[in-house]
């Protein structure tokens, strides 16, 4: 707690596009009253001060090199609550896609003849390195969900992140299902909470919010095959944001 009694919060970024931090700034513009109840001590994207005394840490970005690990562990030591902010931190996100190719090839593709200058390993969610209390899913996060998570944390409650499929929000909006229009969608296995924004604008859900706890993967696969997707297509849609999770599942099955 700071001397004014407000909990201190801090934002950190790892491998990411910073879109989630920008969404936080957006939501602060919509809800400036948030600053009446918390004190932000560190937020590189928005301020120059750097306080190291914080209770809640919001971490954006995946961990994509060994040298990120001590920094993450330091944050974990300091913060009472660590929240993964967005798909990169929550899932590994698009960064984890590189795991689908040999690391040497990826390094050459990205850094060319300077490949050896850069340290890198398979991108992973921060939960692969430190204990994470909560995650705000999405690529980018939903600004209203960010506010509702902060509210819940201040009230000492568990953040209200849904654990049901996206189809629920999509149907409640009265959308025509993308499958009816000959498109495909991962809504039935994806965690809701974004308000089904992609299907509402005619775009397939690619599970940027990660999977629900009990997805029916076999049935989802059948639906995608029925819709005309090849095995390669299915791998490609299933791994857009969730390569790390899909690989974990395959490893668990042995």
The β-bridge partners of 138 are 141
- Please state the closest distance from residue 76 (CB atom) to other proteins, in A: 27
From 5-13, 41-49, 133-141, 149-157, span contacting other proteins (CB under 8 A): 149-157
Measured between its terminal Cα atoms, the distance across the chain in Å is 47
68 to 107: interface string for ligand SF4, x by CB under 6 A: ------------------xxx----xx-------------
Running DSSP on this structure, what letter comes out for residue 208? T
Instruction: Give the interface size with ligand SF4 as a residue count (CB under 6 A).
Output: 27
Contacts of other proteins in 175-204 (CB under 8 A): 175-177, 179-181, 187-189
Contacts of other proteins in 12-41 (CB under 8 A): 31, 33-34, 36-37
69 binds, among other proteins, ligand SF4, none (CB under 5 to 8 A by kind): none
Closest CB to ligand SF4 among 6 and 227? 227
The encoded tokens of residue 131 equal: 């204990």
Binding residue for ligand SF4, selected from 65, 71, 76, 171, defined by CB under 6 A = 171
Calculate the dihedral angle through the C-alpha atoms of 47, 52, 58, 64, rounding to the nearest 10 degrees. Answer: 100
Per the CB < 8 A criterion, the answer to whether 243 and 97 are in contact is yes
- Residue 210 has φ and ψ, to the nearest 5°, of 80, 175
Long-range contacts of the stretch 150-153 (C-beta < 8 A, 24+): 150/9, 150/34, 150/38, 153/56, 153/81, 153/83
- Please state the closest distance from residue 5 (CB atom) to ligand SF4, in A: 31
SS3 state of residue 226? helix
Positions that interact with other proteins (CB under 8 A): 31, 33-34, 36-37, 147-148, 150-151, 154-155, 160, 163-165, 167-168, 171-172, 174-177, 179-181, 187-189, 212-214, 216, 218-220, 222-223
């Amino acid at each position: 707690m700071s001397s004014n009694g407000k909990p201190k919060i801090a934002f950190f970024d790892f491998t990411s596009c910073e879109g989630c931090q920008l969404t936080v700034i957006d939501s602060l513009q919509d809800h400036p009253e948030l600053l009446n109840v918390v004190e932000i001590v560190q937020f590189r994207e928005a301020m120059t001060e750097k306080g190291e005394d914080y209770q809640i840490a919001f971490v954006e970005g995946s961990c994509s090199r060994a040298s990120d690990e001590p920094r993450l562990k330091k944050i974990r030591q300091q913060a009472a609550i660590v929240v993964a902010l967005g798909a990169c931190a929550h899932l590994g996100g698009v960064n984890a896609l590189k795991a689908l190719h040999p690391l040497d090839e990826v390094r050459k593709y990205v850094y060319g003849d300077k490949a050896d200058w850069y340290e890198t390993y398979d991108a992973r969610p921060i939960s692969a390195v430190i204990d994470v209390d909560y995650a705000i899913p999405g690529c980018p996060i939903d600004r209203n969900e960010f506010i509702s998570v902060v509210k819940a944390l201040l009230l000492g409650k568990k953040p209200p992140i849904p654990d049901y499929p996206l189809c629920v929000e999509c149907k409640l909006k009265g959308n025509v299902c993308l499958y009816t229009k000959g498109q495909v969608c991962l809504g039935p296995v994806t965690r809701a909470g974004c308000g089904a924004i992609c299907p509402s604008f005619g775009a397939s859900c690619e599970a940027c919010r990660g999977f629900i706890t009990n997805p029916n993967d076999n049935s989802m696969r059948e639906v995608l095959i029925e819709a005309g997707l090849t095995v390669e297509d299915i791998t490609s849609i299933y791994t857009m944001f969730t390569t790390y999770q899909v690989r974990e599942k395959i490893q668990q099955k042995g």
